[in-house]
Amino acid sequence: MLPKSESLYVEFKSDQNGQKNGLPDIDLIETVVGFSNTSGGKIYLGVEDDGTPTGIHNNHRDFEKILPLVANKTVPPVSVTVELLKENHIDIVCITVPKSNAIISTTSGKVLRRVLKVDGTPETVPMYPFQYSTRLSDLGRYDLTAEPIGSASLNDLDSYEFQRMRRIIRTFRGEDSLLDLSDEELAQALRLTVKADDRLVPTVAGLLILGREDKIIEHLPTAKASFQVLEGSNVRLNEWFSKPLLALFELFENYLKPWNTEREMDYGLIRIPIPAFDHRAFREALINAFAHRDYSVLRNIRLLIDDDGLSITSPGGFIEGVSQDNLLTVAPHGRNPALSDALKRIGLAERTGRGIDRIFEGSIVYGRPLPDYSESTSSYVQVFIPRAEPDLPFVKMLADVRNRDGKELPISSLMILSTLRTERRCDIHRLSERSMLSENKCKAVVERLVESGLVEGHGNNRGRTYMLSSKVYHGSQKSIDYVRQNGINSVKHPELVLQLAKQQGEVSRDDVCKLLGVTGPQAYRILKTLSGQRKLTLQGQGRNAKYVLGEEISKR
């Protein structure tokens, strides 16, 4: 089907109006190059900008000639696929352009990319040389932080930062063997310095981690960060920095403390502190922002605390293969491998590359809303950690599990428990969608939670649903929540279905789904039960099946 409008992945090209020989070849080739250098997409030849199909020109009737045309006019050659479509009996050609793992140009040397304008409509614009490194790093084919800075020297590194690094290695249990090395050997072992022109010079990662502040400003003007605090519309703090990263991490953690208030929860004979923002999650989010930012972009990392929560914004969009929908399941990989590797080896970054798990865990363990990445764009990644009251019964349940098993629950289990905490009752499809797990893995995890007594399952096969067990609500004012959720199917649902049937004369399975917010199989079972009790009578079959009030109910 023809899309309704143009987008980053869809382009309409007129092939008739005002064009003697149809769409010029150069226009088609430049659009292909733009798609290749972005995310791929489809070109619909013979369609006006407003989506009206007007047909292809006679010159493009032999549409298979488009294949060699594109291959011969692009460098490296782009292999597109072409098919003829009919829209309202009008012939149009759909050209599917793949995303390239290299930078593509026209044979005349023109390099382009696709962007969205302010009004949301797409356009093809030039890609400038300074943007090449961003494109290649997004594709995992270039690491800016591993590059030597030829104009810098070892004198640009700060001896105090070497001392700070050694202290961090001891405190955060980095690689102990690094402590036996001299400063020069330590920098080489972490790839913070490399040989260039027969001398040791700092890499971008080396200057970021160990550089003197004035030299960072001189050689890496993009490496800036800000810490801001707003109370209502009042600015309480607004500081900008170009410090080396290790110093900046410690500074930001100290800046957070006055604004990260704590409360305590009684748990047996001890008290569990509950901060507004989890310390470990904050550190991981902060390190992620610096480790994966695009250092070729002249934009600062911004940390903002306001009445709603904490936001950390990092220049550069999600790298190739990563999106907000697969953060917890995608294989770990980053934009700046040299910088990330150094931070892991000294103990700051999560060595498994799963620091994102800790960011989510920091909200879940206190029964709070999940971190939100929905405001991220192709230009930056933003994580928002909401400010919210903790769910104390949920916190106590997880504390009981830790004491019983002697270990933390994995992130997959925590995501499922968090989903059930907020949505009360879910089927496998919904759990899979919210937890970012495949349905098969989700089913295996949730059934283990059922066996452990943390989750209760209701029904069988496709109609099976899940809810948190009574352990979460036991001894709290939320006991009524459990009773309501546990008994709603057997008591309230049939009454509501009968009431709807009486009001509109009949009821269908879709009506029941909309009324109760249940799945199709669940709605079918409710209707089948009422039919078996002769409270409803089935009329029709398949999609036309309707249920009307049975004789017993009609006589009342």
Q: From CA 350, how far away is CA 158, in angstroms rounded?
A: 25
The residue whose two tokens read 């810098």 is: 152
Residue located via tokens 């460098």: 75
The answer as to whether 15 is a domain residue is: yes
Q: Is the same domain home to 187 and 235?
A: no
**381 shares a domain with 233:** yes
- Per residue in 297-344, pLDDT tens? 888 999 999 999 999 999 988 887 788 888 888 877 778 999 999 999
3-class DSSP state of 251: helix
Cα maximum dimension of the chain: 99
pLDDT(353) > 80: no
Residue 190: predicted pLDDT: 95
Does any domain span residue 544? yes
pLDDT tens for residues 81-132?
A: 999 998 888 889 999 999 998 999 999 999 999 988 878 889 999 999 888 8
Phi, psi values for residue 547, rounded to 5°:
-120, 130
- In degrees, rounded to 5, the angle at the alpha carbon of residue 162 between the alpha carbons of residues 158 and 168 is 135
Residue 479 is assigned to a structural domain of this protein: no
The vertex-154 CA angle with 333 and 136, nearest 5°, equals 30
Q: Are residues 239 and 318 in the same domain?
A: yes
What integer pLDDT is reported at residue 181 of this predicted model? 95
Give the bridge partners for 46, in sequence order.
Answer: none
At 306, which helix (H) or strand (E)? none
The pLDDT value recorded for residue 18 is 59
The helix-helix angle for 509-516 and 493-504 (nearest 10°) equals 120
How do residues 22-62 score in pLDDT, each as one tens digit? Answer: 889 999 999 999 999 998 999 999 999 888 999 888 888 88
Per-residue model confidence (pLDDT) at position 344: 92
pLDDT in tens, 381-394: 999 999 999 998 88
Examine the domain organization and report whether 193 and 319 are in the same domain: no
CA angle 269, 270, 275 (to 5 degrees): 155
Structure tokens at 236: 């309480």
Question: Helix 279-291 vs helix 355-364: angle between axes, to the nearest 10 degrees?
Answer: 150
Residue 135 domain flag: no
Considering the domain architecture, whether residues 188 and 117 belong to the same structural domain is answered as: no
pLDDT given for residue 124 in this prediction = 93
Q: Hey, what are 335's tokens?
A: 């934009």
Residues 35 and 80 in one domain: yes
pLDDT > 70: what percent of the chain? 93
Asked whether residue 132 is domain-assigned, the answer is no
Question: What does the pLDDT read at residue 510?
Answer: 84
Which residues does 121 contact at the CB level (< 8 Å), separation at least 6?
Answer: 6
Please say whether the beta carbons of 242 and 217 come within 8 A: yes
Residues 215, 243, single domain; the answer is no
Mean pLDDT over the full length of the chain: 87
The torsion angle over the Cα atoms of residues 246, 250, 251 and 255, rounded to 10 degrees, is 150
Question: What was the pLDDT predicted at 159?
Answer: 94
Report, as an integer, the average pLDDT of 478-493: 52
Task: Give the model's pLDDT for residue 298.
Answer: 84
pLDDT at 161: 96
Range from 170-179, 204-213, 294-303, 518-527 carrying the lowest mean pLDDT: 518-527
Q: What is the pTM of this model?
A: 0.76
Over range 402-426, report the average pLDDT: 89
**What would the pLDDT profile of 6-19 be if each residue is shown by its tens digit?**
998 999 999 876 56
pLDDT grade for 549, boundaries at 50, 70 and 90: confident
d(CA 99, CA 308): 38
pLDDT bin (cut points 50, 70, 90) of residue 378 is confident
For residue 302, what is the domain's CATH number? 3.30.565.60
Say whether both 159 and 240 belong to one domain: no
Domain that holds residue 88: 10-127
CATH number of residue 414's parent domain: 1.10.10.10
- In the prediction, which pLDDT does 19 show? 61
Band of pLDDT at residue 453, cut at 50, 70 and 90: confident
Helix H or strand E segment including 44: strand 41-45
What's the CATH number where 71 sits?
3.30.950.30
The confidence band for 480, taking pLDDT boundaries of 50, 70 and 90, is very low
DSSP designation for 415: H
Do residue 416 and residue 301 come from a single domain?
no
Cα–Cα distance measured from residue 459 to residue 519, given in angstroms and rounded to the nearest whole number = 12
Q: Which of 358, 386, 414 is the last residue of a domain?
A: 386
State phi, psi for 108 to the nearest 5 degrees: -85, 0
In a domain, 4, yes or no: no
SS (H, E, C) 118-152: CCCCEEEEECCHHHHHHHHHHCCCCCHHHCECCCC
The answer as to whether 397 is a domain residue is: no
Q: What percent of the chain has pLDDT over 90?
A: 49
Alpha carbons 489 and 464: distance in angstroms, whole number: 12
Q: With respect to residue 527, please indicate whether it lies within any of the assigned structural domains.
A: yes
Tell me which residue of 454, 394, 452, 410 sits closest to 267, measured CA to CA.
394
Is residue 359 domain-shared with residue 236, that is, in the same domain? yes
- Band (552; pLDDT cuts 50, 70, 90): low
Q: How far is CA 237 from CA 233, 258, 276, 285, 344, in A?
A: 12, 12, 18, 20, 31
How large is the angle between the packed helices 25-36 and 66-73, nearest 10 degrees?
Answer: 70
Q: What is the DSSP letter of 492?
A: I
In this structure, the answer to whether residues 56 and 165 fall within a common structural domain is no
Residue 304: HSE in the Cβ half-sphere, 13 Å Cα cutoff: 19
Q: How many domains does the chain have?
A: 5
Pick from 36-50, 96-110, 197-211, 521-535: least confident: 521-535
pLDDT above 50 (res 145) = yes
Domain boundary among 415, 439, 468: 468
User: Based on C-alpha coordinates, what's the Rg of the chain?
Assistant: 30
Identify whether residues 29 and 45 lie together within a single domain: yes
Read off the pLDDT of residues 486-498 as tens digits, 9 standing for 90 and up: 445 556 778 888 8
Lowest mean pLDDT across 53-62, 66-75, 342-351, 470-479: 470-479
Per-residue pLDDT for 264 more than 80?
A: yes
